[in-house]
Structure 1
Amino acid sequence: MTTLSLTDIQAISERHPDVFASSWRKRLTGWAVGAGFVAYLAFAWWFFAVGAVMAGGNWGIAGTYLADWVSYEIRPQVAFKDGHLEVSYPRFSSYRPDRHPDWLDITQPAGATIAGNKAPADRVVAYIGGTTQIDIAAQRVVVSHGGQTLDVTIVPRQSISVAGALPIWATQKAPGEKILADFGFAGGLQIDEEDVKIRHRFFGWENFFFDANSPFWGMSTSEVVSLMTSDQRLDPKMSNAALAWDNIVNNSEWQHGDVWLKLMQTIVMAFVGTLFASVLAFPLAFLAARNITQNRLVNQVTKRFFDFLRSVDMLIWALFFTRAFGPGPIAGISAIFFTDTGTFGKLYSEALENIDDKQREGMRSVGASPASVQRYGVVPQVLPVLISQSLYFWESNTRSATIIGAVGAGGIGLKLWEAMRTNSDWENVAYMVLLILIVVFVFDNISTALRQRLIGGKASH
């Protein structure tokens, strides 16, 4: 192998200037394209104010939302009353005045009785994360965390004052205003002149199987299994196993039964909408294909009809049919049906226009009728491809049905949107998203396997 020196290369370039000039032009073109791409990215960054948006983003809230996907909070509230305290919980909490979490130590006055949803107390001590202690008395709150102490004096419904400087984990906008303390993932609290709101976070999903109204609530897995196999019934009307299943399905916090029903609606919406679109688009595609139907007017009218159906986004069709039929799966099925009819019509007609005419000519040569020519000379060529396309869109529409459900077209999308709007049920959002991912994964694999089988079967012939 001979290595050229720099002098040899220069001599060659002088003898063939056109070749080397072309090479330089290609290099300059490449650099110009790269510079243009970088300039476009810089313009997009400026035009959409990406830097300002990222700088102004509330990343703390985003982190809280993500944490809520994999955890839950218990939120006791301790109110200051005249000479005593009152402990209560949010409306849908699993805890009640007669049922407190084990990390909350409550000292009740002698002879105290529970009135309504509030429990009277002389003193409340909360232990968070093993290193944080919140000691609440009638007019004083002492918080110990990370080797620092926050000492707050309370005059109920009048004033709040802090002894000394605030620790680094506590904030107060102005003297006399509420105090916020952040203990990281473990939780936090808010102190004002009326009450103390405590947040304690735990990994996992609280009451996923049994809510606080179930007789199985708080039991270990072994205890639940033992009761399910026991002959001694908790409810005379049904076995313990049937009762456990009923409690899971009708869980008031997770609403498993309703979620599963809405998920099934989404699957049915995608299947029925795709099926109806395929059935209608198939014969119409023969009218749109120029090599099948020779009438140009019919071709153009059919193709423009397909353009109209698919030019309107599925979400817009869903809004339209929701107004027409009201919220529910009928609106979702109609939206998928309309959009996919236009898409399938275009894809099917293009597949028909690219068939091999030799098979049709062979059918005609033996005197077959026009219908037989299409049935045996055209359909066998395109059917595997058409079914493959329909299967792909069926899998894709399973995802789309979730989106259109959020605008009232039924299915799990609507329930997902309702959970997101509350801003407090993000663990329910994560649960539904996980179910959707599982369904999409399963149907994607089924669709892929069927498409490969169809394409492979076509290739083998």
Structure 2
Amino acid sequence: MKSDMLEYQVASYLLRKRIKAMMVPAAIIGYLVYVFFTFDIAGLRERVSIPNVKVLLSDVYSYKTHVARNNRSGDIEIAIEGERKGRYPAGKSPEWVVLGDETVIDLGNGHVVVFGQQITYDIPNFGRIAAQPDKDGINAVFPTDNLPGWINVSKNRLAIKTDAGRLTVTRNRAEVFRYFAGWELFFFTLDSPYHGMSLKQLVATGDYGDILRAFWDNKMWRHGDVAWALLETVLMAFLGTFGAAIIALPLGFLAAKNFTPLGALRFAARRVFDFLRGVDGLIWTIVLSRAFGPGPLTGSLAILLTDTGTFGKIFSEALENVEAKQIEGVTSTGAKPLQRYRFGVIPQITPVFLSQILYYLESNTRSATIIGAITGGGIGLLLTQAIITQKDWEEVSYYIVLIILMVMAMDTFSGWLRAKLIKGDGADY
């Protein structure tokens, strides 16, 4: 009887173990099914526009030159990225554009657009497309009635997109885009005397100060403004992180039970920490921006508030784990309370404090980019502005590269400083 009961109990135990083991993968599978339908994974393919993705990726590493004609006056305007700051002077053009009574635009590989009495586009293996804009529309004529997908035409608009470039014609305006690899005008703008010079020619001028000034004051890429924005971002992270550490250190003593016997005081300090770190830094940013207005100082205060709560918790836990023997040794010398803290407590917790502070400094450098986009400061603001325009995505990629380099530099610096201050050796960094 006992053996039967034992076998039953063993079988029941094994059954419960199998059920529990099956529940975990079943719960995971159920969650994945829920995500699949809730986030409409199946419809993702329909929502993704591959042509738009290709255009976006090409804009990251290339630039386009606009050749535009006012169909009413016949005036021609040529500008890189369509910006006034990248506009060619009147009568000047790149070598693939020939100005005259008829403006001939050679897009390469046999693709030629002509702005004359008519607007024509000769496309190899397809033929000539002609358009005559007037008050009745664009009056487009095609070599065939079966138009391919890369031609979009209506009464008032013609859009042609080929591998060589793009042509858009409306009643009032005709415009050609031609793409080139690289970041044009990154070093010098068209109005700079150094534009188009090779490195050897620049060195030969000997005007290094003027060359650096022309690069720094570049009106299209704004290198000076970008450098200041990066510095602003680092300053936001630095002020917020170290300000939080200075405030959290004395509050950490209040929250540590071996330094504050009064339970009510410890409870109050810990709830303050919970409140500060319980509200995300972005929420603090929005609240403070309404109170103090936009600016990098608001971003610094948002980081300070969030990190004060985090540091307070970390510091108080570190203080509760200090060795009492070292404090007793300092006390036996007749040291006063402040001296006991200075020589018995601080040396024990300094490595933990420094490690955490430097780690959060590195992390907050990344966070300051997003916070800066909200508060109107730092590289985050420039990045947001470039994304919103949806025009110069090479500038977006430029800012992202700089942000990555900034984070890498802060990581290297904090790692070196951590090793130097804690271990006394920063040679590996």
What is the TM-score when the length of structure 2 is the normalising length? 0.88
Deviation of 1:432 (Å): 1.4
Farther-moved stretch of structure 1 (396-405 vs 160-169): 160-169
Aligned position for 1:42: 33
Structure 2 residue 183 is the aligned partner of structure 1 residue 205: yes
Aligned position for 2:112: 133
Provide the C-alpha distance between the structure 2 equivalents of 1:429 and 1:188, rounded to a whole number of angstroms. Answer: 22
Provide the C-alpha distance between the structure 1 equivalents of 2:40 and 2:65, rounded to a whole number of angstroms. Answer: 39
Provide the C-alpha distance between the structure 2 equivalents of 1:367 and 1:294, rounded to a whole number of angstroms. Answer: 22
Deviation of 1:66 (Å): 2.4
Indicate how the Cα distance of structure 1 residues 409 and 309 shifts in structure 2: closer, same or farther if over 3 A, else same.
farther
Aligned position for 1:87: 76
CA offsets, 1:99-144, max 9 Å, x none? 21111122x2xxxxxxxxxxxxx32222224342223331241331
Supply the AA of the counterpart residue of 1:297: A
1:346-385 → structure 2 map (5 Å cutoff): 346-364=313-331, 367-385=334-352
Aligned position for 2:245: 278
Unpaired stretches in structure 2, ≥5 consecutive residues: 1-5
Deviation of 1:337 (Å): 1.3
Aligned position for 2:94: 101
SS in 2 for 1:424: coil
1:198-237 → structure 2 map (5 Å cutoff): 198-227=176-205, 229=206
CA offsets, 1:65-116, max 9 Å, x none? 222121110011123347xx4311343333233221111122x2xxxxxxxx
Provide the C-alpha distance between the structure 1 equivalents of 2:105 and 2:357, rounded to a whole number of angstroms. Answer: 59
Provide the C-alpha distance between the structure 2 equivalents of 1:202 and 1:292, rounded to a whole number of angstroms. Answer: 67
CA offsets, 1:367-402, max 9 Å, x none? 543333333332222110111000000001111111
Provide the C-alpha distance between the structure 2 equivalents of 1:24 and 1:64, rounded to a whole number of angstroms. Answer: 58
Provide the C-alpha distance between the structure 2 equivalents of 1:313 and 1:54, rounded to a whole number of angstroms. Answer: 34
Whether the 8 Å contact between 2:276 and 2:305 is mirrored in structure 1 is: yes
Provide the C-alpha distance between the structure 1 equivalents of 2:267 and 2:161, rounded to a whole number of angstroms. Answer: 66
1:22-41 → structure 2 map (5 Å cutoff): 26=17, 28-41=19-32
SS in 1 for 2:386: helix
Whether the 8 Å contact between 2:77 and 2:87 is mirrored in structure 1 is: no
1:148-297 → structure 2 map (5 Å cutoff): 148-159=126-137, 160-163=139-142, 164-165=144-145, 167-168=147-148, 170-174=150-154, 176-184=155-163, 186-227=164-205, 229=206, 240-297=207-264
Provide the C-alpha distance between the structure 2 equivalents of 1:155 and 1:407, rounded to a whole number of angstroms. Answer: 45
Unpaired stretches in structure 1, ≥5 consecutive residues: 1-14, 109-121, 230-239
SS in 2 for 1:99: coil
Indicate how the Cα distance of structure 1 residues 140 and 74 shifts in structure 2: closer, same or farther if over 3 A, else same.
closer
SS in 2 for 1:172: strand
Supply the AA of the counterpart residue of 1:262: A
What is the TM-score when the length of structure 1 is the normalising length? 0.82
Provide the C-alpha distance between the structure 2 equivalents of 1:173 and 1:64, rounded to a whole number of angstroms. Answer: 20
Provide the C-alpha distance between the structure 1 equivalents of 2:46 and 2:316, rounded to a whole number of angstroms. Answer: 50
| Alignment size in residue pairs | 414
Whether the 8 Å contact between 2:86 and 2:220 is mirrored in structure 1 is: no
CA offsets, 1:155-185, max 9 Å, x none? 42323222322542532354x242221123x
SS in 2 for 1:51: coil
Indicate how the Cα distance of structure 1 residues 226 and 17 shifts in structure 2: closer, same or farther if over 3 A, else same.
farther
SS in 2 for 1:252: coil
Provide the C-alpha distance between the structure 1 equivalents of 2:225 and 2:89, rounded to a whole number of angstroms. Answer: 26
Indicate how the Cα distance of structure 1 residues 128 and 25 shifts in structure 2: closer, same or farther if over 3 A, else same.
farther
Aligned position for 2:3: none
Provide the C-alpha distance between the structure 1 equivalents of 2:127 and 2:147, rounded to a whole number of angstroms. Answer: 7
Supply the AA of the counterpart residue of 1:98: G
Supply the AA of the counterpart residue of 2:385: E
Aligned position for 1:12: none
Indicate how the Cα distance of structure 1 residues 173 and 148 shifts in structure 2: closer, same or farther if over 3 A, else same.
closer
SS in 2 for 1:327: coil
Farther-moved stretch of structure 1 (410-419 vs 444-453): 444-453
Provide the C-alpha distance between the structure 1 equivalents of 2:21 and 2:135, rounded to a whole number of angstroms. Answer: 72
1:322-337 → structure 2 map (5 Å cutoff): 322-337=289-304
Structure 2 residue 373 is the aligned partner of structure 1 residue 406: yes
Farther-moved stretch of structure 1 (419-428 vs 156-165): 156-165
Q: Alignment RMSD, CA only?
A: 2.6
CA offsets, 1:310-351, max 9 Å, x none? 122212222233333332221122111111111110111111
Aligned position for 1:70: 61
Supply the AA of the counterpart residue of 1:407: I
SS in 1 for 2:391: coil
SS in 2 for 1:65: helix
Indicate how the Cα distance of structure 1 residues 22 and 288 shifts in structure 2: closer, same or farther if over 3 A, else same.
same
Farther-moved stretch of structure 1 (131-140 vs 305-314): 131-140
Deviation of 1:421 (Å): 1.7
Whether the 8 Å contact between 2:110 and 2:122 is mirrored in structure 1 is: no
| Identical residues among aligned pairs (%) | 36
Aligned position for 1:118: none
Provide the C-alpha distance between the structure 2 equivalents of 1:253 and 1:415, rounded to a whole number of angstroms. Answer: 13
